[in-house]
Amino acid sequence: MKRTVLLFCGLSCVAFVTAQDYQRTDYGIKATVDAVDVEVQFFTPSMVRVVKSPHGESFKKESLSVVALPEKVGFKVGTKDGAIVMGTKELQVSLDTSTGALSYETADGRHLLAEKPAEKPFTPFDDAGDATYNVYQAFKLETDEAIYGLGQLQNGKMSQRGQVKNLVQGNVEDVSPFIQSTKGYGLFWDNYSPTLFTDNASETSFRSEVGDCMDYYFMYGGDADGVVAQVRHLTGEVPMLPLWTYGYWQSKERYKSQGETVGVVRKYRELGVPLDGIIQDWQYWGHNYLWNAMDFQNPQFNNPRKMIDDVHAMNAHMAISIWSSFGPATKPYRELADKGLLYDFRTWPASGTESWPPNMEYPSGVRVYDAYSPEARDIYWKYLNEGIFKLGMDAWWMDSTEPDHLDFKPEDMDTKTYMGSFRKVRNAYPLMSVGGVYDHQRAVSSDKRVFILTRSGFLGQQRYGANVWSGDVGSSWETLRKQVPAGLNFSLCGMPHWNNDIGGFFAGQYNKSWNDGTAPKNPLYQELYVRWLQFGAFTPMMRSHGADTPREIYQFGKKGEPVYDAIEKMIRLRYSLLPYIYSTSWEVTHRQSTFMRALVMDFPRDKKVWNMNDEYMFGKAFLVAPVLEAQYTPEKVVKVDEESGWNRDNAGKADERVHVDFMQQKSAEVYLPAGTAWYDFWTNEKMEGGRTVTRATTLDIIPLYIKAGSIVPLGPDVQYATEKPWDNLTLRVYPGADGSFVLYEDEFDNYNYEKGAYTEIPMAWDDSSRRLTLGARKGEYKGMLQSRKFTVLLPDGRQKAVSYNGKKVSVKF
């Protein structure tokens, strides 16, 4: 239809020009440019969806990630200089009617991003017999603009500029075609097929193998937190996880009997070292032909209900390994196979025998299930529920959710799924498999929050109670260094729960042979493990796990020895921070915040931090600078990936015959971001930001700094997260700026908070008057503390006790 030019608020001055052809819709516009149909839909005043397709072709696109719907936002539309211009109070979008390229500006005219006209956005492609397209779109970025995201990569990069990366799910890389910029915008390329991301001097582009249309979302948040809020609105908000999941977890590959599993928990209780989670890894089901039977057929696990009850009796919780595949002797396999819901490509394990190396004369026959099928997800849950959940299991360790794909052949991608070829939907497999378990558990229980530890993730998975870990990474300093930017970029995609195997999964290079378990006695590994654990204490899940060697604290020595003491010190610090961590979790759920915060999130004006890959904020208060280089031992260059690791190729490469004095003092350089003052967490020394400082370190100390204006609650000394009430918390207040904090509490492990059963205690520090005000308590829940005490502590040692009964009270220093 014809539209005349409009003059309206929110756009720069618009002159009357020749009218262009376009159709206004309830949410945006439709137009055809150069044989390409273009539709622009406003989802919010600051977010638009762009869909392009060959002219006149019909298609149906159902997003797997997106849960939001477009909104009627009161946009204006007109034409200017050969462009169709749309505007809201937040965003201005222009469609060039000669090239079909879109550009984005803020409402006041500041340029954000522009498409680069594409010569061939659609290339015909035969996708396993279905006529479709390769789809491509390029954008033009400014030279000094930094971008983040793409999921979790192992490239060690903070900013993702200047690379070519094929985005496809793998064991140690979890991909999502999402980026966000230092200019305050985000871009989600809504495609699930293998996608080539390119950033060079001429373009920043996405090129996907399969797409009936080109489909992406542009969002303007103003800053990194704003972009995270936008992408969570688009793809799903984050539910609260149980308090206990933020405690310490112990695991290894693998505990071989229920007595061993329960014994680990008992040993921690005897030692008085805090513990909340124990994980049972694979083969509790028996041999590989029974792979993932979701049933305890291994005679070493002859009474699983008692195993779980014994763990619960010691006030701990348990997670168990479940997979995306099934052995041919299992009940789920038979039912799924009868319905054609299993894939034919090879997956882990390759052999049906447990001998090493795998005996391929006895192939396992294990097959991956079709997680895209609602019926298959129902079958999956049926056996999981009957075989394990009803026994009282607390959480799921969903392994191989990428899924494992051995001996890849191009024709494997032709495999038919419920939603088309595997190629078409390949990258969304973890989203569908994890979502299936979450949705089914929520449907049958509201008393126990869903918690899923999983090896792969895709944008939208944050809505499923999932914490993604970085896969079977090798035990090396270089790998440890790469985990920091991997977790930060994953978090910048809007998925806040991330962790990694403390100590690295493959530790065999620190053993004399791959299975003799000597690594905990090897000083080279001891130093690496302690530094990795210190980093892990400041991630959303503190979980020790790996192959080749045990990881329990008592394997590293005994109390009074430097390695043991350093491990225990960091576990206890983690528990003292639980009120801070759990309140931060509420900020994540309720106010779209983020646990692991790249420094650019809080200090965007300090360009020195834009590409900093070795420091970050944990919540809004803590600056964490983990020690990422060996200080006491030679740093061996070890290259291990998940394939060579499982081939046991990593044995005996790091000689332990070195003499080490772990009591020596070392040092590390730390950059303190500009714009604020900082306090050394350990000494309370105050210093100004915008400079690099040298911090003395010992094996049990890493550089930790607190931003001026922070209020940090510290909890009681406990053996498990809920052992003691938070009735006498210490509030550390760090002067130098005004600050605030909200202490959040609820019943800790059910969904009553969704019905309003929780409390918030707002706290505010006025720096000029040196006054801390505890505001009136908001909300209530069953069993809440009616009154309590706080001990307010300043860095100079002054402290005051405050009695609090839910009413506003203040204390002045």
Look up residue 242 and give its DSSP letter. P
Catalytic residue, candidates 276, 472, 565, 656: 472
Which residues lie across from 250 on neighbouring strands? 278, 544
Containing H/E element for 206? strand 204-208
**DSSP states of 103-160 as a string?**
EEEETT--EEEEEEPPS-SEEEEEETTEEEEEEEEEEE--TT--EEEEEE-SS--SS-
Containing H/E element for 232? helix 224-235
- Tell me how far the alpha carbon of residue 746 is from its chain's centroid: 24
Spatial neighbors of 309 by CB under 8 A, at least 6 apart, are: 392
CA angle 357, 360, 363 (to 5 degrees): 120
Candidates 755, 768, 147; CA nearest to 493 is 147
Look up residue 776 and give its DSSP letter. P
- Tell me how far the alpha carbon of residue 661 is from its chain's centroid: 37
Specify whether the CB–CB gap between 686 and 679 falls below 8 A: yes
Catalytic residue, candidates 127, 212, 295, 399: 399
Whether omega before 349 lies within 30 degrees of 0, making that bond cis, reads yes
What end-to-end distance do the CA atoms of the chain give, in Å?
A: 69
Sheet holding 711-714, edge to edge: 711-714, 728-733, 788-793, 799-804
Specify whether the CB–CB gap between 566 and 699 falls below 8 A: yes
Which residues lie across from 810 on neighbouring strands? 773
CA atoms of 374 and 765, how far apart (whole Å)? 51
Catalytic annotation present for 472 = yes
Specify whether the CB–CB gap between 340 and 333 falls below 8 A: no
Specify whether the CB–CB gap between 305 and 387 falls below 8 A: no
CA atoms of 27 and 25, how far apart (whole Å)? 5
Candidates 3, 108, 93, 96; CA nearest to 50 is 93
Containing H/E element for 313? helix 304-313
Which residues lie across from 712 on neighbouring strands? 732
Q: Is 600 helix (H, G, I), strand (E, B) or coil?
A: helix
CA atoms of 220 and 183, how far apart (whole Å)? 9
Q: Is the dihedral of CA 669, 675, 680, 684 positive or negative?
A: positive
Catalytic annotation present for 635 = no
Q: Which residues of 9-47 are buried (b: 16+ CB within 10 A; e: fewer)?
A: ebbeebeeeeebebeeeebbbebebeebbbbbbbbbbbb
Q: Rounded to 5 degrees, what are φ and ψ at 68?
A: -75, 160
CA atoms of 546 and 281, how far apart (whole Å)? 10
Look up residue 474 and give its DSSP letter. B
Catalytic residue, candidates 39, 115, 394, 402: 402
Specify the length of the chain in residues.
813
Spatial neighbors of 667 by CB under 8 A, at least 6 apart, are: 694, 695, 696, 697
Specify whether the CB–CB gap between 414 and 423 falls below 8 A: yes
Half-sphere exposure of 798 (CA within 13 A, CB side): 9
Spatial neighbors of 510 by CB under 8 A, at least 6 apart, are: 475, 518, 519, 522, 524, 525, 548, 549, 654, 656
Candidates 706, 773, 504, 530; CA nearest to 630 is 530
Q: Is 204 helix (H, G, I), strand (E, B) or coil?
A: strand
Structure tokens at 349: 């394990």
Look up residue 98 and give its DSSP letter. T
Catalytic annotation present for 402 = yes
**Active site residues per annotation:** 399, 402, 472
